[in-house]
C-alpha cells in the first residue's frame, strides 16, 4: 500500500496522466518521478501495461495497475517449493482413483484365475476321462481348443 501511495504522489508532478508515452518516455517519466528501475524492469512493466501492443502506455494505466494489484496477497515461494506443492495436490487428487484401479486390477486377476482354474479342470476331465458320445461309448480326447 505504501508503494501505491508513494507511486501516486510521485506521479503528481506529471502534468497529463493520459498522455501516450512510448518506452523511452515511460522510462523518463519513471525517472522523473524518482522511481529507479533497471532497463529490464522498466521493459517488463511497459509490456505488462501495453495490453493492446500499441507501443504506448499512459501514467493513468500504471496507476490503475498499482491500484488493482494487492501487494502481499500471496507470499513468494521458490519454484521448487511450488513444484512440490503441485505434486502433492495432484497426488492427493489421484490417490482415490489409483486405489480404485488397483482394486479393479485385483478383481480382474482373481476372475481370470478362477476362469483359468475352471477351464483347466474341464480340460483335465476331458483328457483323462474322455467324452461320452451319443452312443454311450467313451471317446478319448487328446486336445481341447479354447475359443477365447
CATH of the domain at 33: 1.10.238.10
Q: What is the mean pLDDT of residues 24-35?
A: 82
- Please indicate, yes or no, whether residues 59 and 84 belong to a single structural domain of this protein: no
Model confidence band, residue 134 (pLDDT cutoffs 50, 70, 90) = very low
Contact at 8 Å (CB) between 20 and 57?
yes
What confidence category does residue 86 fall into, taking pLDDT thresholds of 50, 70 and 90?
Answer: very high
Same domain, 83 and 61: no
The residue ranking higher by pLDDT, 47 or 66, is 47
pLDDT score recorded for residue 83: 92
Same domain? 9 vs 60: yes
Within a domain: 121: yes
| Residue closest to 35 by CA, chosen among 6, 64, 12, 55 | 6
pLDDT higher than threshold 90 for residue 84: yes
The answer to whether residue 13 is domain-embedded is: yes
Range of the domain at 114: 79-132
pLDDT of 142: 52
87 and 114 within one domain: yes
* pLDDT at position 10: 65
Among 70, 48, 71, residue whose Cα is nearest residue 61: 48
For residue 139, is it within any domain?
no
The residue that leads in pLDDT, 11 or 129, is 11
Together in a domain, 53 and 109:
no
Threshold 0.85, pTM exceeds: no
Average pLDDT of the residues in 118-141: 54
Last residue of a domain, one of 28, 45, 68: 68
Instruction: Flag whether 146 is in a domain.
Output: no
User: According to the per-residue pLDDT averaged within each range, which of 19-23, 59-63, 136-140, 143-147 is highest?
Assistant: 19-23
- Asked whether residue 44 falls in the same domain as residue 87, the answer is no
> Is 147 a member of any domain?
no
Pairing state of beta strands 138-139 and 131-132?
antiparallel
Mean pLDDT of 66-82: 72
- Give percent of the chain with pLDDT exceeding 90: 9
Count of structural domains, the chain:
2
Would 103 be classed as within a structural domain?
A: yes
Are 57 and 6 contained in the same domain?
Answer: yes
How high is the mean pLDDT of the chain?
75
Look at residue 47 and tell me whether its pLDDT is greater than 80. Answer: yes
Amino acid at each position: 500500500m505504501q508503494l501505491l501511495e508513494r507511486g501516486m504522489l510521485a506521479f503528481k508532478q506529471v502534468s497529463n496522466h493520459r498522455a501516450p508515452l512510448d518506452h523511452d518516455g515511460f522510462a523518463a517519466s519513471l525517472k522523473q518521478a524518482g522511481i529507479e528501475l533497471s532497463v529490464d524492469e522498466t521493459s517488463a512493466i511497459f509490456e505488462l501495461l501495453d495490453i493492446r501492443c500499441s507501443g504506448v502506455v499512459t501514467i493513468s494505466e500504471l496507476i490503475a495497475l498499482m491500484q488493482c494489484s494487492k501487494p502481499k496477497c500471496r507470499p513468494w515461494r521458490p519454484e521448487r517449493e511450488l513444484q512440490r506443492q503441485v505434486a502433492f495436490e495432484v497426488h492427493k487428487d489421484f490417490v482415490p482413483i489409483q486405489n480404485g484401479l488397483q482394486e479393479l486390477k485385483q478383481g480382474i486377476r482373481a476372475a481370470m484365475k478362477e476362469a483359468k482354474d475352471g477351464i483347466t479342470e474341464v480340460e483335465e476331465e476331458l483328457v483323462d476321462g474322455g467324452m461320452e458320445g451319443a452312443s454311450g461309448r467313451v471317446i478319448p480326447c487328446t486336445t481341447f481348443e479354447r475359443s477365447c
